[in-house]
Amino acid sequence: MKLIGLLLAVTSAALGGEYAILTSGARLYAERHERDGSKIRLFSKTGHTEIDAEQVVHFEMEEYVPPASVPARAPLPVAEPKAEMPADMQVLIAQAADNHGLPREFVQSVVAAESAYKTDAVSSKGAIGLMQLMPGTARELGADPRDPQQNVDAGTRYLRELLVKYGHHPELALAAYNAGPGAVDRYRGIPPYRETRTYVQRVLKKYNNLKKN
């Protein structure tokens, strides 16, 4: 009985996939994890990775929606964001879009979906500012996520990098911006997550509406 109790104490197996959220803001995918003292092992189909437990803030279950129930091209009913863009925001977005060679309407659509143009927006996962940059991503981009200009510029630069990575397919770039490139690569397309698919549809709908005006 003691042996069984010990195994239960050091083992935490997740049903399905999960993400380890690190102190750096990074998200590591694993099929399951086990904790042994000060170490945590993240298991995948090809093996496992061991990291210090103090590096992990918490775990998030992977939201999985079977592909058969949500076809890749199926339209989703999405409510159009009602937020109005402040005049000074238009200048920041225009500068960032022009600097990185993206359509202004595309960048505006991402900002609207991410934060509804709120410079002080902070998500439950720790994403910051207008383009909801995770602290770790902001550091990699050399930006202060709480500075609106740096936030929009860094987020736009990251969007361009994702567009280049995925052959200028906006659906894949947006999915990677929302769920991470690892998820897009793993599923070889838009991940079957309800949140991500809704996000992609919302941004593209906003973008198409802006281009008409």
Q: Kindly give the confidence (pLDDT) of every residue in the chain, 213 residues in length, as a single tens digit, with 9 standing for 90 and above.
A: 333 333 333 333 333 577 778 777 677 777 788 888 888 888 776 677 788 888 888 777 765 444 444 444 444 444 444 456 677 889 999 999 999 999 999 999 999 999 999 999 999 889 999 999 999 999 999 999 999 999 999 999 999 999 999 999 999 999 999 999 999 999 999 999 999 999 999 999 999 999 987
Half-sphere exposure of 145 (CA within 13 A, CB side): 24
The residues spanned by each domain of the chain are 2-61, 67-212
How high is the pLDDT of residue 63? 58
From its phi and psi, is residue 180 left (phi > 0), alpha (psi between -120 and 50) or beta? left
CA distances from residue 190 to 28, 129, 165, 170 in whole angstroms, order as listed: 18, 25, 14, 11
Catalytic pick among 114, 140, 161, 195: 114
| Residue 50, Cβ density class (10 Å: 0-12 exposed, 13-18 middle, ≥19 buried) | exposed
Neighbours of 86 (CB within 10 A): 12
Contact indicator for 61, 189 with CB cutoff of 8 Å: no
171 in active site: no
CATH top-level class for 2-61? Answer: mainly beta
How high is the pLDDT of residue 23? 77
Per-residue pLDDT tens for 172-205? 999 999 999 999 999 999 999 999 999 999 999 9
Fold of 67-212: Lysozyme (1.10.530)
For the record, the structure tokens of 76 come out as 């989703």
Neighbours of 73 (CB within 10 A): 6
Q: What is the pTM of this model?
A: 0.63
